[in-house]
Amino acid sequence: MRFFANIVIKPYIIESGYRSLCEIGAKLGNNTEELLEIDSLVIQIIDPCLDADLCEAYRDNKRIQVHKGISLDVLKGYQVNSIASLLMGTITGIPFTTS
């Protein structure tokens, strides 16, 4: 997936001018690390954290917020304003605002 993130997702995010996105299913955080190379990007991660403790891994990173849980449960608490979804594991461009 790292190849896909570098070749498809990163250029798309930069070209589209996204400043925030929601990565659903970060698993070990490999794609997250690639996406962090976009300096202006703020990332929301939704993941049950079964493969890695993403909360701990990104605890000191002010550009990342980890929501530990299943995406359908976590997203219930948010109003989704716009979606540019790339279903790969999945990454969605969702500005998060509480409902």
The domains of the chain are located at 2-98
Q: Where are the alpha helices (DSSP H) in 5-90?
A: 10-16, 30-35, 54-57, 71-75
* pLDDT score, position 51: 92
The beta-strand segments (E) located in the chain are 20-24, 42-47, 64-68, 78-80, 85-86, 91-92, 96-98
Tokens of 87: 């279903």
Q: Using an 8 Å Cβ cutoff, are 27 and 47 in contact?
A: yes
pTM of the prediction? 0.75
pLDDT per position as a tens digit, 13-58: 899 888 888 888 899 998 899 999 999 999 989 999 999 999 999 9
Kindly give the pairing relationship between strand 64-68 and strand 85-86.
unpaired
* pLDDT score, position 61: 96
